[in-house]
Structure 1
């Protein structure tokens, strides 16, 4: 069996797998990068597996695992995005011939189309469901990857039953080719109460607040969240809404939306935050508000629950799989539904306490160790 430990009293070699991991698409710190880092961090603990990380010169430091892995540095920078795309369809084949891995694990759609040992993780079909917000390159580049994977990948991993249904519906991929492997709860840094106060002071945050973390793509539903908060604030003027994460006004003019509803003094945009800052802001929040229209998984839900913070989220896409009965659900297409949720959690302290307790129970169902073992089981089966 692949994952059994070697018996030192027996010199016979146990099963062994050499796994190359494609890190070339990554240069920032977002959801897929977090998924990949957590997965690798658990995979390196499993006996019988050699990991080879394929990087570029600007691969982020959070993919540094020291001598626990073998690293291969491709001599170009991620800033040359076209270079990455071209290399993945040309030069990487020669590298893989040299490395001779048993399998290549690509944790994003950006991977060599025709490599016969490729196992790809698809997180969602957002580029197809929200095509009007993608540029022409992204539309066709990612679509070509999904189509190539349908025919040439050994196996496709996805992170929820919802995403599996999406892949079947959008690309007509055979269900037998798709394996569902859920994510785990995040390993968050410990932050003291003093640190919470210091971070709040750094961002000039005073009093009670709701917290959102994520990007500003339209599917994240920030416009409705801000509008709903504006309606809530008419009766609850002391509360604020904190929006953490990179804002990209190519998608929506978030500042304009805030100004439209006259919320400049009540909505705080922090921009990008570190893990420590995110944890501090979450711990100080009344609740996480995550009314996304579309998620492949929804890791912020588990982040909040790990810290004992109640969660308001959508009853759409994968979020019910992640939240179960431990969150307060809203209709993300209804500002009124979101407003009512904010009001209910402010008024009902017992409900908040129950959500916290249920959240702690919910996260027990998720484990990155389990994710790693299940992923490696898929890789092993793909060899056969």
Structure 2
């Protein structure tokens, strides 16, 4: 099967990690001959260097980008096109598979405040649902969400899940340079996104309670936060506790692996995730996970691989983090169960489920 894979967003966070991970696994699948479609200035991911590739002008969300994407597909003539995010070719080419990650901008207040942008987003997703022959989601939760807003998606939808084994197998950087002060410290790791559904305020409240009794504990937020965000969220908290919370700034994958590896645990208090890749990455690297029972997260961590609390409950979150910090047996159990869960969710398994979707369409 000659499959065109839309990698125009390969360098983006989140979507890009999925795009590269699933494309690498599909390239290793014996039934797939991948044809890569990349943005004009996009470099080819190393694991895909031997694949046929074509570059397309225009932003993926722009009319020009959609037109040039379609033009390229008509010239290349693949057996099937797989859009790894919802921007689709115009005019559409068939057979067409579209991956829908989530509907966060439509369903989570505050993520996309602009009504005009939400309208454009809704139109683009509606069109993708309409023109797709099959819709792939990474969780049952996401398929239910997409189908609730766009009912025609239900009959087209297939769930493939995702993986983190490629990320976990990469090199681990030394915590040096701007991360040197973290080396040797006891710290809780979390993701540094300040988007409303990530619920950093609940994590900061939980950490403030824990830090009052643990003089050496730190909270490290991987990523770049907004100026003044921590000062506003931690107003009224002692300067000692405030000084032990920090954003890392922009980091590489090697540095992120190092942060996971040396952390006491990953705290992931999100209220809404289409899949929730950080808990899977942490489990694959042997880092205990504390997360919520919201959205797709129970599908990612399973029944035993993480400590799970209700979203928005800072007291329960603090108690769960304390269990990992204070009970070595709990930590060992989570590490073992997390490894086992990560071995079940691999890119090879996701690729096989994706190829099953291709077979449905191509016969």
Choose the corresponding residue for 2:36, options 35, 53, 58: 53
CA distance in 2 between partners of 1:48 and 1:342 (Å): 45
Determine if the alignment matches structure 1 residue 62 to structure 2 residue 41: no
Distance (whole Å) between structure 2 residues aligned to residue 339 and residue 256 of structure 1 = 20
Structure 1 residue 222 displacement after superposition: 1.1
State the match for 2:244 in structure 1.
Answer: 266
Residues 22-47 of structure 1, C-alpha deviation per residue, up to 9 Å, x if partnerless? Answer: 2224443x111111101111111123
Alignment of 1:1-384 (within 5 A): 17-28=1-12, 30-62=13-45, 65-67=48-50, 69-75=51-57, 81=59, 84-112=61-89, 114-117=91-94, 118-134=96-112, 135-187=114-166, 188-189=168-169, 196=174, 198=176, 202-213=180-191, 215-248=193-226, 253-258=229-234, 261=237, 262=239, 263-324=241-302, 325-383=304-362
Q: State which drifts further: 83-92 or 35-44.
A: 83-92
Residues 1:197 and 1:146: Cα distance change in structure 2 (over 3 Å) = closer
1: CA distance, partners of 2:11 / 2:115: 21
Cα deviation, 1:26-82, whole Å, max 9, x if unaligned, reads 443x11111110111111112342211111233255367222x11111245xxxx4x
Q: State the distance in 2 between where 1:307 and 1:370 align.
A: 19
Q: Could you tell me how far apart the structure 2 residues matched to 1:33 and 1:255 are?
A: 31
Point out where structure 1 has 5 or more consecutive residues left out of the alignment: 1-16
Instruction: Name whichever of 42-51 and 255-264 sits farther off.
Output: 255-264
CA distance in 2, matches of 1:289, 1:330: 11
* Change in 2 beyond 3 A, CA 1:149/1:295: same
Change (3 A) 1:180 1:239: same
Alpha-carbon distance change, 50 to 248 in structure 1, aligned in 2, over 3 angstroms: farther
May I ask how many residue pairs the two structures share in their alignment?
Answer: 357
Question: What is the CA distance between 1:181 and its match in structure 2?
Answer: 0.3
Equivalent residue number for residue 8 of structure 1: none
SS of corresponding position for 1:140: helix
Partners of 1:239 and 1:173 lie apart in 2 by: 49
Q: Is the 8 A contact 1:200 1:206 kept in 2?
A: no
For 1:4, the equivalent position in structure 2 comes to: none
Unaligned runs of 5+ in 2: none
Instruction: State whether residues 313 and 319 of structure 1, in contact with CA within 8 Å, keep that contact through their aligned partners in structure 2.
Output: yes
Instruction: Give the whole-Å Cα distance in 2 for the aligned partners of 1:212 and 1:115.
Output: 40
Going from structure 1 to structure 2, the CA distance change for 1:260 and 1:200 (only over 3 Å counts) comes to same
Determine the structure 2 residue equivalent to 1:7: none
Deviation at 1:299, TM superposition (A): 1.4
- 1:293 alignment partner, SS class: coil
Q: Deviations over 1:323-375 (max 9, x none)?
A: 11210011221111111112222221111111111112212211211111211
What secondary structure sits across from 1:90 in the alignment? Answer: helix
Aligned-partner SS, 2:87: coil
Superposed CA deviations along residues 84-122 of structure 1, whole A, max 9, x for unmatched, are 511243233222221111211111112225514221000
For 1:25 and 1:116, how far apart are their aligned partners in 2? 19
RMSD: 2.3
Normalised to the residue count of structure 1, the TM-score between the two structures is 0.86
CA contact (8 A) 1:345 1:351 kept: yes
Find the residue that maps to 1:240 and give its secondary structure.
strand
Does structure 2 retain, via aligned residues, the 8 Å contact 1:109–1:122?
A: yes
TM-score with structure 2 setting the length? 0.90
CA distance in 2, matches of 1:376, 1:181: 10
